[in-house]
């Protein structure tokens, strides 16, 4: 069954790949991101039978989130799935004068996602139900020394979504949390090591399958990341500290 989907951070990376995948599956799309010119190009590439509505949105501008999402929903004539995908990654360490980068990560990855979820839940409640999807990360399972703020933002997002699941279920709104491993996107292209890397196209296909199945939570792909993250969780902190360099 198809319908309409809102995707934040749709101009590149996972969001862009999801736009192509859901368009292929017959969904109408409401796409938003900071870079309007990239959205316009994406809309042209997606040109076909499915409706595509776009709007500029920086989710860190929290007050703008409800207005933009409501606008896109009105253009689409309603929406059934809201995907909080917008995110950034920055390398920043305490005491090195880079706290502004930490703040940026938290504002976009956590507060921006929460603002998206809040506005999405309001709309879906009025429409009688639907689904909210949060794109988290395997980086949220333990604190990574190279990107501590990114790990914190994703851990907090996953915990937040777990916390809202029961309340939203009362309103017939399903909550899905997806934790990608290394997917070939600009956010991790600078890394010298990207174990178990998969293409954005494959990652989007796997995620779309999980979203349509309304899974509660999953790594992407399931194997080997479900196994790896379980080991990450169980490692004693002193051992984790030694290998987490």
For 23-41, the DSSP string reads: HHTT-EEEEEES-HHHHHH
Structure tokens at 150: 């990114």
> What gap in Å lies between CA 2 and CA 152, rounded to an integer?
34
- Partners of residue 28 on adjacent β-strands: 4
Q: From the candidates 141, 150, 182, 225, give the one annotated as an active-site residue.
A: 150
Q: Closest Cα partner for 153 from 111, 195, 119?
A: 111
> What gap in Å lies between CA 4 and CA 51, rounded to an integer?
9
H-assigned helices in the chain: 13-24, 36-45, 64-76, 99-105, 113-127, 148-169, 200-213, 222-234, 237-243
Query: Catalytic: 27?
Result: no
- Partners of residue 30 on adjacent β-strands: 6, 53
Which residues are the active-site residues? 150
């Amino acid at each position: 069954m198809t319908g309409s989907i809102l995707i934040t951070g749709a101009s590149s990376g996972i969001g862009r790949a999801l736009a192509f995948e859901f368009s292929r599956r017959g969904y109408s799309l409401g796409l938003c991101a900071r870079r309007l010119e990239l959205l316009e190009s994406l809309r042209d590439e997606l040109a076909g039978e499915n409706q595509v509505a776009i709007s500029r949105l920086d989710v860190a501008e929290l007050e703008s989130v409800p207005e933009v999402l409501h606008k896109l929903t009105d253009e689409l004539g309603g929406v059934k799935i809201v995907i909080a995908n917008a995110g950034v990654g920055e390398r920043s360490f305490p005491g090195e004068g880079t706290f502004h980068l930490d703040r940026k990560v938290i504002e976009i990855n956590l507060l921006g996602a929460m603002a998206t979820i809040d506005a999405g839940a309001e709309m879906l409640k009025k429409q009688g139900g639907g689904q909210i999807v949060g794109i988290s990360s395997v980086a949220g399972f333990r604190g990574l020394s190279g990107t501590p703020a990114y790990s914190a933002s994703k851990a907090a997002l996953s915990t937040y979504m777990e916390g809202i699941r029961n309340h939203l279920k009362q309103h017939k709104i399903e909550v899905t949390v997806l934790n990608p491993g290394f997917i070939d996107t600009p956010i991790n292209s600078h890394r010298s090591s990207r174990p178990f890397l998969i293409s954005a196209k494959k990652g989007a296909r796997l995620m779309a399958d999980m979203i349509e199945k309304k899974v509660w939570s999953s790594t992407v792909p399931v194997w080997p990341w479900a196994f790896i993250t379980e080991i990450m969780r169980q490692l004693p902190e002193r051992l984790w500290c030694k290998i987490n360099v």
